[in-house]
Amino acid sequence: MNTKPIPTTEEEWRQKLTPEQYRVLREKGTEAPFTGKYTHEKRAGMYACTACGNPLFSSDTKFDSGTGWPSFDEALPGAVKFVSDGTHGMERTEVVCAKCGSHLGHVFDDGPMKTGKRYCMNSVCLELGEKKE
């Protein structure tokens, strides 16, 4: 996966992304549960930010959380940043791409794997680069 040039204005983002990608990545939206292309994905590879190509998660950390969104137990070192999110009457931790600042999803402390984390991501924010045999 190659990194992509990062737009400098929201108009450039609108031109680069599909309307759904823009709504989720730039306007902090959420795709409907169980609708994303990576919810049940099992292929091995590296998940990168759709907006800028920044590598985010290894498929080795992906698990089926039953929530309807792709879930991971850890991000690649330095790949994401965390932002306090008090919207919708909840206290959550938003996950954004460390390179372009785009919204990816949220992280929760209820993961069943070794880290205890559940990075609950939107498929529209991810791009899977499959491992070559």
Q: Choose the catalytic residue: 49, 100, 120, 125.
A: 120
| Tokens read off for 94 | 């938003």
Classify each residue of 107-129 as buried b or exposed e, where b means 16 or more C-beta atoms within 10 Å of its C-beta. Answer: bbeebeeeeebbbbbbbbbbbbe
107, 120 Cβ separation under 8 angstroms: yes
> 120 an active-site residue?
yes
Residue type, 73: D
Active site residues: 120
